[in-house]
Amino acid sequence: MFKKGLTILACTALMAAAAPDLPLSVHAASQEATVSSQELHIRSGPGQTYPVQYTAKRGEKFEVAERNGDWVKVQLPDGKTGWAAAWLLSIKSSQSQSSKGTAESAASDLRMRTGPGTGYQISGTFPEGEKAAILEEEGSWLKISYQGNKGWVAKEYVSAALSDKAFTPKTGKITATALQVRKTPGTGNESKGILNKGETVQVTGSRGDWYSISYKGGTGWIHSDYIDFTSVKAASSKANGRTGTVSASSLNVRDSASANGKSAGTISQGTTVSVLEESGSWYKISFSGGLTGWVSAEYIDTRESTQTASSNKETLTILAGGTNIRSLASTSSSIIASADKGDTFQVLGKEGDWFKVALASGQRGYVAGWLTDTGGSSSPAKDSSGQTIRGKTIVLDPGHGGYDSGTIGYNGTLEKNLTLRTARLVASKLEAAGAHVIITRNSDTYASLQSRAALSQTNHADAFVSMHYDSTIDQSAKGFTCYYYNTVKDGKLASSIHDAMAANSPTSDRGMRFGNFHVIRENSQPSILIELGYLSNSMEELIITSEQYQEQAAQAIYAGLNQYFQ
């Protein structure tokens, strides 16, 4: 088949070589040619006998100037023109490239490229502070026109993206542990400060993947991946009608639900307030004859909580020594006490996977549900038979190891290190709940695929979870994928963990898929392989290597296993 292809190509080339003498030239304005071969020589004339002027890579795009037989004349980055074989191009009518906004360079001599990626050739530079018209957007890249030169620049190095669309201001809650607020949109731009997880902000506009927010009396920019609007809506009316008492000696009242909100005064310990609204970890209160403002919920004791405590007899038992009791239902909130294995607490309520408990000191705190046993039907570690997850044998398989590094991230992250980190986090949660956990490798060592599957089978594992991180040449790809081999054997486990990841992961859901991987194909026990995100995507690499994401992913896998055993 290869020889036959060469023969056809040679014949076509000979036909094309004769084309210059034929009056077949046609104007091809408003057309765009995309290179479809791995590499394409662009020549000084319409035939293979002409010298090469430029070598293009797959995916590069050019404006078509005219056509001559099987050759097309294209506009080159340096302003010159050249001829390319039409059969190695994908040609389509281009949309009008009117300006979609203005980009301003935020980097010194920002490189412009012939295509949307660092693998494409440099076609010019875009000096810091200069402005250019935006023509097109593709993934994390923008096509711009600067002083007559058209090329692609990375979004993260420009301080503006696509023109703002009509936007209705709305309130959102920060989901990252510590989120940088930028002066202008872009990860490489100057920071104005940090927002903590759970803080609420007023979003005033959008530009590409960035939101503008009200911040310290002005405007700041945050990435859209780290804000959640649904939870704020759901929580906004939870607190209506409650009253509470200030527990801090002096409590700041602010004009917005954020520590960065402008102070509107203070109220003293013991002051009675009415709770009008709840947003994340903040209460909007009414006090002193109708004055309103926002205060940290941590320092308001609500009467409803006290009444709930008197009627709720449910208790929980701590499963692991050194368990932290926190001020809010989050691993990023402050620690107010530490509990020993076997300690019991009265349950006041539940927020997601966290229990609100009463401490001996009179304080209220939160403890992670995966570190407790409530002894009742609501325990997160119960299965349908009434037995806990305690005693279940679960094999965790951190992919790669030793000389097998796995994929290497855009910023240099080694997959083998990240999978081990994730597996250890999952193991700690399962062991705290009483499961028998086996890890196929507990250090940077190589383990064969055969030994990993065999370890699951010889230990009669109740579940086998292989953890990996993905990579592809498409640097915009992102999200997690859950793979199974046998629907009957693995389907329920895959579905449980997939659904838990979809509910808890900040990355995109790429769904459940059949996967012909050795560790699940040659495994007689219920088994899955999960790809937890793309290290080849520079933005996603920053997300999935963060403590916040690692905790979320580990918690989701733990929750999925709990669901599987129910």
Contact 381, 566 (CB under 8 A): no
**How many whole angstroms separate alpha carbon 57 and alpha carbon 61?**
9
**How many whole angstroms separate alpha carbon 424 and alpha carbon 443?**
10
**How many whole angstroms separate alpha carbon 407 and alpha carbon 533?**
12
Mean pLDDT for 1-6 is 40
Between residues 161 and 345, the one the model is more confident about: 345
Strands 393-398 and 463-470: parallel
Is residue 476 a part of any domain in this protein? Answer: yes
Provide the edge-to-edge strand list for the sheet that holds 335-339.
335-339, 323-326, 364-368, 354-358, 344-351, 315-318, 372-373
Q: Are residues 223 and 257 in the same domain?
A: no
Model confidence over 179-225: pLDDT tens digits?
778 877 776 667 777 777 777 777 777 776 778 787 766 678 888 87
Q: Are residues 505 and 534 in the same domain?
A: yes
Mean pLDDT for 15-38 is 52
Q: Are residues 449 and 544 in the same domain?
A: yes
Q: Are residues 403 and 458 in the same domain?
A: yes
Question: Where a domain ends, among 253, 287, 305?
Answer: 305
pLDDT at residue 310, as a whole number: 40
Is residue 414 a part of any domain in this protein? Answer: yes
Q: Are residues 266 and 359 in the same domain?
A: no
Instruction: Output the pTM of the full model.
Output: 0.40
Q: Are residues 295 and 419 in the same domain?
A: no
Work out the pLDDT band at 234, boundaries 50, 70, 90: very low
**How many whole angstroms separate alpha carbon 479 and alpha carbon 510?**
6
End-to-end Cα spacing for the chain? 55
Whether residue 4 has pLDDT greater than 60: no
Whether residue 266 has pLDDT greater than 70: yes
Mean pLDDT for 523-542 is 94
CATH number at residue 21: 2.30.30.40
**How many whole angstroms separate alpha carbon 157 and alpha carbon 293?**
38
Most confident listed range (35-49, 270-284, 410-424, 500-514): 410-424
Whether residue 30 has pLDDT greater than 70: no
Contact 228, 311 (CB under 8 A): no
Run of H or E including 192: strand 191-196
Q: Which domain holds residue 481?
A: 393-564
Is residue 9 a part of any domain in this protein? Answer: yes
Lowest mean pLDDT among 74-88, 224-238, 269-283, 300-314: 300-314
pLDDT at residue 320, as a whole number: 57
Q: How many domains does the chain have?
A: 6
Question: Where a domain ends, among 233, 254, 276?
Answer: 233
Lowest mean pLDDT among 105-114, 482-491, 516-525, 534-543: 105-114
Mean pLDDT for 38-45 is 86
Is residue 381 a part of any domain in this protein? Answer: no
**How many whole angstroms separate alpha carbon 297 and alpha carbon 242?**
12
Q: Are residues 118 and 76 in the same domain?
A: no
**How many whole angstroms separate alpha carbon 143 and alpha carbon 103?**
10
Q: Are residues 440 and 547 in the same domain?
A: yes
Whether residue 21 has pLDDT greater than 60: no
Work out the pLDDT band at 515, boundaries 50, 70, 90: very high
CATH number at residue 474: 3.40.630.40
Strands 436-439 and 393-398: parallel
- Which ranges of 368-511 would DSSP assign to H, the alpha helix? 415-432, 449-458, 487-504
Q: Are residues 553 and 406 in the same domain?
A: yes
Mean pLDDT for 111-125 is 83
Mean pLDDT for 430-438 is 87
pLDDT at residue 309, as a whole number: 40
Is residue 162 a part of any domain in this protein? Answer: no
Q: Are residues 416 and 553 in the same domain?
A: yes
Return the number of other C-beta atoms located less than 10 Å from residue 184's C-beta: 20
Model confidence over 203-213: pLDDT tens digits?
777 776 778 78
Is residue 405 a part of any domain in this protein? Answer: yes
Is residue 379 a part of any domain in this protein? Answer: no
Model confidence over 280-323: pLDDT tens digits?
667 888 776 667 788 877 778 764 443 444 445 688 888 655 57
pLDDT at residue 289, as a whole number: 61
Work out the pLDDT band at 327, boundaries 50, 70, 90: confident
Whether residue 528 has pLDDT greater than 70: yes
Whether residue 3 has pLDDT greater than 90: no
Between residues 335 and 386, the one the model is more confident about: 335
CA 133 to chain centre: 29
Q: Are residues 325 and 352 in the same domain?
A: yes
Is residue 443 a part of any domain in this protein? Answer: yes
Question: Where a domain ends, among 305, 336, 363?
Answer: 305
**How many whole angstroms separate alpha carbon 509 and alpha carbon 482?**
9
Q: Are residues 320 and 266 in the same domain?
A: no
pLDDT at residue 485, as a whole number: 94
